[in-house]
Amino acid sequence: MNKRCVTMDDLFETKSVTNPVLAPNDREAVCTVTELNKEDNAYHSAIHHIDLQTGEVTRWTYGKQRVSAPKWSPDGKQVAFLSNRNETNQLYIIQKAGGEARALTDCKEAIDSFEWSACGKKIWFTGKLKTGETFCTTVQKQERFPQPIRVTKMKYKEDFIGVLPQDQYTQIGYVDVATCTVCNFTKEPFDHSLEAVSHDGKQLVIGVNRNAQTDHDFSVPLVLVDIETKKETVILDEQGFFGNVAFSKDDRYIAYTGYDMTFQNVTQADVFVYDQTNGQAMNLTAGIDAPIGDESISDHLQQTIAPGVVWTEDEQLYFQLSSMGEVRLYAATLDGAIYPATGEEEHVYGYDVAKDAEFALLTVSTMTNPGELYRQTIATGERTKLTSFNEGWLKKVELVEPETIYYTNGNENIQGWLMKPTKFTEGKTYPLIVEIHGGPHAMYGYTYFHEMQVLAAQGYGVLYLNPRGSHGYSQAFVDAVRGDYGGGGYEDIMAGLDEVLKTESWIDETRLGVTGGSYGGFMTNWIVGHTNRFKAAVTQRSISNWVSFFGVSNIGYYFTDWHLKAGMTDVDTLWKQSPLKYAENIETPLLILHAERDFVCPIEQAEQLFITLKDLGKETEFVRFPESDHNMSRTGKPNLRIARLEEITGWFKRYL
């Protein structure tokens, strides 16, 4: 069969298979399948049921909406989930025996998360409330005229949302499954997270910071709460980011993942276990120099909600680990033994594990497969494919298998990937595009990436690298970018380019392009201000001026200090590391793409760069994307995601 090249519209052809959840009997499961719909320019998702004995896959929910976070009731007869079928996310329940899903909540604001109670008669959940309101408060009539907003805290806005309501907090409530009666459990004027419910139904673990001043406070203490008496025991109270809590099967141990502030937000995450019998916690993965969790980036996967840890009955823990571009499932015992449970060169982006640890359910993607659901016998590694949602599409398209490359830059060992054009012909030369990831603490890896395949299909070679600052190598490596933006990371990227130009005669070094988003956008700006080797560049959701970024970004005042090791008392350092300072040096035609509701890297960063370059007579254009945030390329409106790809490929076609 003559296969065709990948197109931009293949975003609508592939399906994202995520969030596998085993039933209590370990003989059946559910997962979520999401696809982009061109007709109504939206994401549609549905819950699918899998009979693990027969392999039969049955769709359980229908309609033009998004569903997420399916969870089985303790008796395995029902599945609860979140759905936006009535505009905001509310809690629904569907019977295994069949029938329509029914709504359990109709709260004023969206439901954020939920957990079943052990009795199966109620479900705990979280949602936002104004002070004095309850989850039963009816929707108030909106003010006729706009009202001013008083801001008193530095953490006052979020990406896409903008300015947050100043008297609104996340609270915990519960709903009676039979009667749909909703009650509040927390009411204090603080944000609460629902982390876990014990198997005996007597305890919650919640996250709550009750400090009055939190502008420079990055702690969310984990608190064990007796549901009946509301007596609290603090499990953890330190600066850092911790969560993904799970009780062991007998409730003695409480596992959680996270990291302290030793290296600010680039500290690698670990798995911790708290013992209720002695109140002591231990770091189970302290000996691993790689981050716990999934640090791999992809533009295809939707709703990749994976558990932080999963306990088995024999007190083993399973978790994801990101290393060398791979995301694998690992297992650990309480006495310190740790071993990989899945193979190499793939992206295990979702999982669940049978109680007896006989097998795991895995959602897995590779560089040439968008992802499916598998059953893997843990002892033997034998794997059975359970779904085939992307099989028909894979038979129609020709995908390029990226080649893994390794090279050195000084004392640093760097990993990356090189793709040839889809219809590569020996003896011909081709332009090459260098892609730079954001973060900078993310990781390119062994997963399907639609954008890379589109570029290859249009006749470009693609080089993407994990320079210093990337996750998945070591703590020293990921920390090396702090205080050195535009330094070693820039050198690593240019050294990677030199390496492939030296070894790959098919690359036309007179036709080089570069692009990236967020940190990758910053680096694109930096590169064209420091070299003229590239003939075209596309910068996306970028930073151009650290001085203004400090005050306009929702993370600016602390991120700048953490990563540049300077603030507004050291403006010279901020300006020295700002690409805008070097705008006069830019000779590369530069396309600037930015979302209007990006509050992580606000659009004024793009505006400053564009106006400055135009004023200097440089070759540049600026494209603004309405109703879009920092994650537009991954979760934005489908038509705008297509438009973004058209802009990128159009610019490179014009200049390369």
Alpha carbon distance 307, 1 (integer Å): 40
Nearest residue to 448 (alpha-carbon basis) of 4, 1, 8, 16: 16
**Set 45, 365, 518, 633: catalytic member:** 518
Say which residue the tokens 């006495």 belong to. Answer: 335
Nearest residue to 306 (alpha-carbon basis) of 376, 361, 366, 236: 361
Sign, CA torsion 571/576/579/581 = positive
Asked whether 537 and 530 are in contact (CB, 8 A), the reply is: no
Q: What are the φ and ψ backbone dihedral angles of 501, each rounded to 5 degrees? A: -65, -30
Q: What are the φ and ψ backbone dihedral angles of 348, each rounded to 5 degrees? A: -85, 100
Residue 509 CB-half CA count within 13 A: 12
Q: Is 518 a catalytic residue?
A: yes
**What does DSSP say about strands 507-517 and 430-436: parallel, antiparallel, or unpaired?**
parallel
The gap from C-alpha 509 to its chain's centroid, in whole angstroms, comes to 34
Secondary structure E strands in 200-247:
203-208, 222-226, 232-236, 240-247
Tokens of 286: 């302290």
Q: Is 630 a catalytic residue?
A: yes
Tokens of 427: 């003896």
Asked whether 456 and 20 are in contact (CB, 8 A), the reply is: no
**Set 347, 437, 594, 630: catalytic member:** 630
Sign, CA torsion 271/275/276/279 = negative
DSSP conformation class of 358: S
DSSP conformation class of 556: H
Alpha carbon distance 560, 413 (integer Å): 27
DSSP conformation class of 573: H
> What is the set of active-site residues?
518, 630
